[in-house]
Amino acid sequence: MNLPDRHISLAHGNGGRLMRELIELLFAKHLKNPTLDVQADAVTLPLERHGELLFTTDGFTVQPLEFPGGNIGSLSVHGTTNDLAVSGAIPKYLSLNAFIEEGFEVAALERIIISIAQAAKAIDVAVVAGDTKVVRRGEGGGVYLATTGIGIKTTEINLSMSQIQPGDRLLVSGPVGDHGIAVMLAREQFGLRGDLMSDAASVLPFTQALLDLPGLRFMRDPTRGGLATVAHELCRGTGLRVNLDQSAIPLRDPVVSVCDMLGYDPLYLACEGRVVAVIAADQADQALQRWQALPGGELARIIGETESNDPFVVLHTELGGSRILDELEDDPLPRIC
Amino acid sequence: MNLPDRHISLAHGNGGRLMRELIELLFAKHLKNPTLDVQADAVTLPLERHGELLFTTDGFTVQPLEFPGGNIGSLSVHGTTNDLAVSGAIPKYLSLNAFIEEGFEVAALERIIISIAQAAKAIDVAVVAGDTKVVRRGEGGGVYLATTGIGIKTTEINLSMSQIQPGDRLLVSGPVGDHGIAVMLAREQFGLRGDLMSDAASVLPFTQALLDLPGLRFMRDPTRGGLATVAHELCRGTGLRVNLDQSAIPLRDPVVSVCDMLGYDPLYLACEGRVVAVIAADQADQALQRWQALPGGELARIIGETESNDPFVVLHTELGGSRILDELEDDPLPRIC
Q: pLDDT tens digits, residue range A126-184? A: 999 999 999 999 999 999 999 999 999 988 898 999 999 999 999 999 999 999 999 98
Contact B45 A57 (CB under 8 A): no
Give B277→chain A minimum CA distance, Å: 14
Q: Provide the number of structural domains found in chain B.
A: 2
| Domain endpoint, select from A153, A183, A200 | A153
Is B331 among the domain residues? no
Does the structure show a pLDDT above 70 at B112?
Answer: yes
Whether A132 and A229 share a structural domain: no
Cβ of residue B140 closer than 8 Å to a chain A Cβ: yes
A113, A201: one domain: no
CA distance B41 to A54: 10
Residue A115: inside a domain, yes or no? yes
The type of residue at A222 is P
CA distances from A330 to A311, A315, B157 (A): 22, 19, 52
Confidence band, pLDDT 50/70/90 cuts, at residue A20: confident
Task: Count CB-CB contacts under 10 A for residue B147.
Answer: 34
Peptide bond into A64 cis (omega under 30): yes
Q: What is the CATH number of the domain that holds A122?
A: 3.30.1330.10
Closest approach of B246 to chain A, Cα-based (Å): 21
On whether residue B332 sits in a domain, the answer given is no
pLDDT in tens, B250-263: 999 999 999 998 88
Contacts of residue B78 in chain A, CB cutoff 8 Å?
Answer: none
Does residue B98 share a domain with residue B184?
Answer: no
End-of-domain residue from the set B105, B133, B153: B153
- In chain B, what residues touch A94 (CB-CB under 8 Å)? none
Is residue B54 in some structural domain? yes
Is B75 in the same domain as B183? no
Q: How far is B192 from chain A (nearest CA, A)?
A: 23
Residue whose C-alpha is closest to residue B144's, from A149, A77, A131, A144: A144
Among chain A residues, CA nearest to B337: A133
CA dist B285 → A84, B222, B281, B282, B311 (Å): 48, 21, 8, 7, 25
B166 lies in the same domain as B38 = no
Q: Is B247 left (phi over 0), alpha (psi -120 to 50) or beta?
A: alpha
**What average pLDDT score do residues A190-200 get?**
81
CA-CA distance, B277 to B296, in Å (whole number)?
Answer: 16
Rounded Cα gap, residues A307 and B166, in angstroms: 73
Residue A329 domain flag: no
Which residues on A lie below 8 Å from B45 (Cβ)?
A: 52-55
**Side chain identity at A215, as an amino acid letter?**
G
Q: Is 90 exceeded by the pLDDT of residue B2?
A: no
The mean per-residue pLDDT over the stretch B275-303 comes to: 98
Q: Which domain holds residue A189?
A: 161-324
Contact B219, B287 (CB under 8 A): no
Tell me if B233 sits within 8 A of B278, measured CB to CB.
no
Report in angstroms the alpha-carbon separations of B308 from A147, A271, B33.
Answer: 41, 58, 50
Sign of the torsion angle spanned by Cα atoms B269, B275, B281, B286? negative
> Is residue B4 scored above 60 in pLDDT?
no
Confidence grade of residue A6 (pLDDT, cut at 50, 70, 90): confident
Pair B221, B309 in one domain:
yes
Contact assignment for A328 to B138 by CB distance below 8 Å:
no
Checking if the pLDDT of A318 tops 90, the result is no
Percent of chain A's residues with pLDDT above 70: 96
Region B263-285: mean pLDDT is: 96
Integer angstrom CA distances of residue B86 from B11, B54, B89, B226: 40, 11, 7, 15
Report yes or no on B336 lying in a domain: no
Residues A192 and A74 in one domain: no
Spatial contact of B315 and B308, defined as CB atoms under 8 Å apart: no
pLDDT at A336: 76
Give residue A5's pLDDT. 58
In the beta sheet, which residues pair with residue A144? A99
Higher pLDDT, B13 or A57: A57
Q: Taking residues B25-53, what's their average pLDDT?
A: 87
When pLDDT is cut at 50, 70 and 90, the band that residue A203 belongs to is very high
Distance from CA of A193 to the nearest CA of B (A): 24
pLDDT grade, residue A4 (50/70/90)?
very low
Helix (H) or strand (E) holding A80: helix A72-86
Span B101-110, average pLDDT: 95
> What is the arithmetic mean of pLDDT over B76-92?
97
pLDDT of A1 higher than 60: no
The C-alpha torsion from A183 through A188 and A194 to A200, rounded to 10°, is 10
- Distances in Å between the Cα of A129 and the Cα atoms of A36, A126, B33, B36 are 6, 9, 25, 22
**pLDDT reading at B48 higher than 80:** no
Task: Decide if pLDDT at B333 tops 80.
Answer: no
Nearest-angstrom CA–CA distance, A57 and B97: 7
pLDDT > 80? residue B106: yes
Q: Which of B10, B55, B161 sits opposite A129 (nearest CB)?
A: B55
Distance CA B285, CA B279 (A): 10
Tell me which residues of chain A, numbers 270 to 289, contact chain B at a CB-CB cutoff of 8 Å.
270
Instruction: Report the pLDDT value the prediction gives residue A49, as an integer from 0 to 100.
Output: 65
- The whole-number average pLDDT for the span A227-243 is 96
> B185-242 pLDDT, tens per residue?
888 766 677 778 999 999 999 999 999 999 999 999 999 899 999 999 999 999 999 9
Lowest mean pLDDT among A104-113, A320-329, B164-173: A320-329
Q: Which of A40, A52, A131 sits opposite B59 (nearest CB)?
A: A131
Task: Count CB neighbours of B140 within 10 A.
Answer: 26
Percentage above 90 pLDDT, chain B: 77
Residues of A with Cβ-Cβ distance to B139 under 8 angstroms: 139-141
Tell whether the torsion through CA atoms of B11, B102, A99 and A8 is positive or negative.
negative
A147 & A193 share domain: no
pLDDT value at residue B86: 97
Q: Which of B33-47, B107-121, B189-203 has the highest mean pLDDT?
A: B107-121
Phi, psi for residue B221 in degrees, rounded to 5: -95, 125
Distance from the A320 Cα atom to the nearest Cα atom in chain B, whole angstroms: 28
Residue B320 has pLDDT above 50, yes or no: yes
Q: Where are the alpha helices (DSSP H) in B32-139?
A: 72-86, 106-122
What's the pLDDT at B200?
A: 96
- Between CA A291 and CA A304 the distance in angstroms is 16
| List of E strands, chain A | 43-45, 52-60, 66-67, 70-71, 90-101, 126-135, 143-153, 169-172, 216-220, 241-245, 276-279, 301-307, 313-316, 322-324
> A329–B84: do the CB atoms touch at under 8 Å?
no
Confidence of residue A51 (pLDDT cuts 50, 70, 90): confident
Chain B residues within an 8 Å CB radius of A95:
55-57, 148
Q: Mark whether B19 and B117 lie in a shared domain.
A: yes
Same domain for A69 and A190, yes or no, is no
Instruction: Round the average pLDDT of chain A to a whole number and report it.
Output: 92
- Yes or no, beta carbons of A41 and B221 under 8 Å apart: yes
Q: Would you place residue B159 in the very low, low, confident or very high pLDDT band (cuts 50, 70, 90)?
A: very high
Tell me if B131 is assigned to some domain. Answer: yes
Do B8 and B146 reside in the same domain of the chain? yes
Report if residue B86 sits inside a domain: yes
How high does pLDDT run on average in chain B? 92
Q: How far is CA A219 from CA A68, A173, A234, B78, in A?
A: 27, 11, 10, 35
Last residue of a domain, one of B107, B137, B153: B153
- Please tell me whether residues A142 and A203 are part of one structural domain: no
CATH number at residue A165: 3.90.650.10
**Helix/strand number for chain B, H first, E second:** 9, 14
Q: Which segment of A14-23, A184-193, B36-45, B128-137 scores lowest on mean pLDDT?
A: A184-193
Res. B89: pLDDT tops 70: yes
Cβ atoms B249, B177 nearer than 8 A = no
Q: How many residues does chain B have?
A: 337
